[in-house]
């Protein structure tokens, strides 16, 4: 750790964890309230799903602006501004009186919060070396793993006790809590001499550099596709639980707790293996396992009538491998541009969240209440990630021979 920076590694771990948890909270807490909100706003499931997809796409677009800002004015100011904007948008969601208003304020939520996560990741890399940064990301993943499990449970309880609007008051309270921790507990990590100009031409050149770096793009799309193949089941949870498995809004824990336990286990495995294997070896092992699990999931969908167990077991196995490689891929992506970590993280978030947003808006919307369709979509996405990784390995070997 850089001793000149007074922020301890445990505070950075906690900060990145808390910032990472905002995403699952924003996505998962209101899923149990879908049916009630559909009735109140007189809209279909497809339109309610759009409130998730457009939130993700707004998040993606905003990261490009926040990324330039975090390399210009520093990490901490961007975190505070992003949390403040998210707080206001969450209150507006709670007060919305029509579907159109709610959709607009969900977009504002995505635009507001986009900068907090990329700034937190960049802050970790400012302060820590590669191995230590991977360990912090892995530990943060352990804490982050709690949020998708408890978010729908909290949302279900709040919905049953106080109605769906209380969910967004909860999100506003969470944002204020993280804001205060960042304000008083975290020091700025980006030195003045390392800050970059916000000039539009220079910012554009930095982003164009990321888009012209084929190795960077391969890593980004590997992470985006492998995560989206899992996220399909999260975004489609209301359909899977209500329409396929015939469960109630308060039963979301049946799906989320086991799956998130897999994420937690994978984070522990990642933290343990970082000192024993190279990042490339870890990705080789666990990306291959994800492909086999997706194939297993398809076979199960073809041969067994959908049950809780037949749905959960492949998802748990998949989530373990996904959580194992996510910290490794994230650090490798940021390290492609050591002098522009904020911008590199921003472009990665833009592609990642945009990919998720498109998946939710278009793929989930056409899958319907068919577990078979979900398994085909998962296998297709992880196959894309696996193919990109094979290409990256081949090019890496060729470059080594040439050197």
Q: What is the pLDDT of residue 200?
A: 62
Q: What is the pLDDT of residue 274?
A: 81
SS (H, E, C) the chain: CCCCCCCCHHHHHHHHHHHHHHHHHHHHCCHHHHHHHHHHHCCCHHHHHHHHHHHHHHHHHHHHHHHHHHHHCCHHHHHHHHHHHHHHHHHHHHHCCCHHHHHHHHHHHHHHHHHHHHHHHHHHHHHCCHHHHHHHHHHHHHHHCHHHHHHHHHHHHHHHHHCCHHHHHHHHHHHHHHHHHHHHHCCCCCCHHHCCCCCHHHHHHHHHHHHHCHHHHHHHHHHHHHHHHHHHHHHCHHHHHHHHCCCCHHHHHHHHHHHHHHHHHHHHHHHHHCCCCCHHHHHHHHHHHHHHHHHHHHHHHHHCCCCHHHHHHHHHHHHHHHHHHHHHHHHHHHCCCCCCHHHHHHHHHHHHHHHHHHHHHHHHHHHCCCHHHHHHHHHHHHHHHHHHHHHHHHHHHHHHHHC
Structural domains of the chain, with CATH: 9-402 (1.20.1250.20)
- The model's pTM: 0.71
Q: What is the pLDDT of residue 12?
A: 80
pLDDT band at 4 (very low <50, low <70, confident <90, very high): very low
Q: What is the pLDDT of residue 7?
A: 56
| Tens of pLDDT, residues 65-76 | 887 787 778 888
Q: What is the pLDDT of residue 174?
A: 95
pLDDT band at 391 (very low <50, low <70, confident <90, very high): very high
Give yes or no for residue 193 having a pLDDT over 70: no
């Amino acid at each position: 750790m850089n001793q000149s920076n007074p922020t301890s590694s445990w505070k950075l771990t906690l900060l990145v964890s808390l910032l990472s948890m905002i995403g699952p909270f924003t996505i998962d807490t209101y899923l149990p309230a879908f049916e009630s909100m559909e009735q109140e706003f007189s809209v279909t499931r497809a339109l309610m799903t759009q409130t998730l997809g457009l939130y993700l796409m707004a998040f993606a677009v905003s990261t490009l602006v926040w990324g330039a800002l975090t390399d210009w004015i520093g990490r901490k100011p961007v975190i505070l501004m992003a949390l403040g904007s998210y707080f206001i948008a969450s209150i507006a969601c709670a007060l919305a009186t029509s579907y159109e208003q709610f959709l607009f304020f969900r977009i504002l939520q995505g635009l507001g919060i986009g900068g907090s996560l990329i700034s937190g990741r960049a802050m970790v890399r400012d302060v820590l070396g590669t191995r230590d940064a991977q360990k912090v990301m892995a530990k943060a993943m352990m804490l982050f793993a709690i949020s998708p499990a408890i978010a729908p449970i909290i949302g279900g309880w709040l919905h049953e006790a106080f109605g769906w609007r209380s969910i967004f008051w909860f999100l506003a309270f969470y944002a204020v809590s993280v804001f205060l921790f960042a304000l008083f507990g975290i020091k700025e990590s980006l030195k003045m001499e390392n800050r970059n100009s916000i000039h539009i031409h220079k910012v554009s050149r930095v982003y164009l550099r990321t888009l012209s770096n084929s190795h960077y793009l391969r890593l980004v799309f590997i992470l985006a596709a492998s995560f989206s193949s899992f996220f399909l089941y999260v975004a489609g949870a209301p359909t899977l639980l209500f329409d396929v498995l015939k469960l109630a809004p308060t039963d979301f824990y049946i799906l989320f707790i086991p799956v998130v336990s897999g994420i937690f286990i994978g984070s522990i495995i990642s933290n343990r293996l970082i000192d024993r294997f190279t990042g490339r070896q870890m990705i080789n092992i666990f990306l291959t396992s994800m492909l086999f699990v997706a194939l297993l999931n398809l076979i199960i969908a073809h041969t067994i009538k959908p049950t809780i167990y037949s749905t959960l077991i492949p998802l748990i196995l998949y989530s373990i491998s996904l959580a194992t490689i996510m910290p490794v891929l994230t650090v490798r992506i940021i390290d492609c541009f050591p002098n522009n970590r904020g911008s590199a993280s921003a472009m990665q978030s833009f592609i990642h969240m945009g990919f998720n947003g498109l998946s939710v808006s278009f793929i989930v919307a056409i899958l319907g209440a068919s577990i078979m369709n979900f398994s085909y979509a998962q296998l297709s996405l992880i196959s894309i990630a696996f193919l990109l990784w094979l290409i990256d390995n081949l090019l890496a070997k060729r470059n080594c021979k040439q050197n």
